[in-house]
Amino acid sequence: MLPENELGSVRSHIVVTGGAGYIGSLLVARLLSDGHKVTVIDNLLFGGESLLTFFSNPNFHFFKSDVTDARCIKAAMRRDWPSPSAVFHLAGIVGFPACQAIGVQAANYYNVEATKSIFEQSQSVGVEKFIFSSTYSVYGMSRDDELVDEDSPLNPQSLYAETKIRAEEYLLPNGAMVFRLATLYGISPRTRFDLIINQFVLDAFTKRELLIYQRGYKRSFIHVRDVIDGLLLGLNQAKGTEKYQLFNLGTDDGTYTKDQIVQMVIKRLPDTLVDYKDLTFGGDMRDINVSFKRIKQQLGFTAAISVDEGVKEVVNALRLGLIREPNHIRYRNSQFIVS
């Protein structure tokens, strides 16, 4: 019998697509720490520095490939390792600016068709659990402050959200587990600075000013480390207990307006000047209250890190110089940023 890890699940072989990314690199660290063998498939679009620390670990295997390759899962397998029991599919074109930049055809190719291919390849090698990262932006904008949950109608406001919905429509009937992530923040081995909280902190730290649009809009926020905890709860859920396979991944006390986020940043960087612009624009518009009741009840998920703690973390990382050239494009999925 194989030994069990501290989370109570049998140590196994896990594949992570997009493992060099913002979520993926942190997930890989946790999986290795828990004793799993981990294969990362990534095309290193934003570099591979986030993976360097893992190469000395005998349970880590890296395979450079694009997920659009129809044989990448089989090609990545090591003959001396068992077949993977689970796949975390995190790779894709993430965010509405990045999807808009490459266009409809390419966005669908990477986020929908490649996802179908990765799932089918996973099934062919005997994968038992397929976990997919989606986004709560599939809900778009809710009416009259209405609380939305996993059963609410979808109202995508962007090409990015549309591609995630199409992928979900294929995966859910086929037994995949889907997590609709709230807006992320916090530090990881491949930090992103094109996310609202991280971006606000960076702008306040480097420019001493913030230019804010859509100041009253509410969003739900979740620390990237809490996201890892949620994904691992899905991985370790006992067979036969799965009432639902679709979860909003966030926390009820993580919903804030941009004004409230700005105040948290100013608390840490009080010399920051703030300028508000009354301007609307097309794109991934979100003004919603999201329910996270299902993931708490079924998986027992609770977030451990507050937004205020996350702001402090990013400020400290910048002050200490832990991230060199934080304005470099490798820390953004797209150069186009709107506050």
Residue 95: inside a domain: yes
Q: Is residue 3 part of a domain?
A: no
Which is higher by pLDDT, 321 or 339? 321
pLDDT at 311 over 60: yes
Please calculate the CA angle 295-215-265 and round it to the nearest 5 degrees. 75
Predicted pLDDT at 103: 83
pLDDT value, residue 288:
81
Label residue 161 exposed, middle or buried (CB < 10 Å: 0-12, 13-18, 19+).
buried
Question: What is the chain's length?
Answer: 339
Higher pLDDT, 1 or 221: 221
The vertex-68 CA angle with 78 and 82, nearest 5°, equals 20
Classify residue 4: in a domain, yes or no: no
pLDDT value of position 1: 30
- pTM (two decimals): 0.92
The structural domain count of the chain equals 1
* Strands (DSSP E) found in the chain: 13-17, 37-42, 60-64, 86-89, 129-135, 147-148, 177-181, 183-185, 209-213, 218-223, 246-249, 255-257, 273-277, 289-290
> Which pLDDT belongs to residue 7?
38
Here the CATH number for the domain that contains residue 150 is 3.40.50.720
Percent of the chain with pLDDT over 70: 92
Q: At what angle do helices 258-268 and 196-207 cross, to 10 degrees?
A: 40
Residue 339 inside a domain? The answer is: no
CA angle 93, 97, 99 (to 5 degrees): 35
Backbone φ and ψ of 10, nearest 5°: -65, 135
Lowest mean pLDDT among 8-17, 70-79, 313-322: 8-17
pLDDT of residue 281 exceeding 60: no
Q: Which domain holds residue 228?
A: 13-331
Does the residue 38 lie in any domain? yes
pLDDT at 279: 56
CB atoms within 10 A of CB 32: 18
* pLDDT tens by residue, 175-224: 999 999 999 999 999 999 999 999 999 999 999 999 887 677 788 999 99
Q: Is 2 domain-assigned?
A: no
Within-domain flag for 1: no
Mean pLDDT of the chain: 90
Q: What mean pLDDT comes out for the span 231-260?
A: 92
* Each residue's pLDDT tens digit, 34-70: 999 999 999 998 899 999 999 999 999 999 999 999 9
Q: What's residue 134's pLDDT?
A: 97
Residue 116 counted as domain residue: yes
Q: How confident is the model at residue 118 (pLDDT cuts 50, 70, 90)?
A: very high
Q: Which residue has the higher pLDDT, 174 or 1?
A: 174
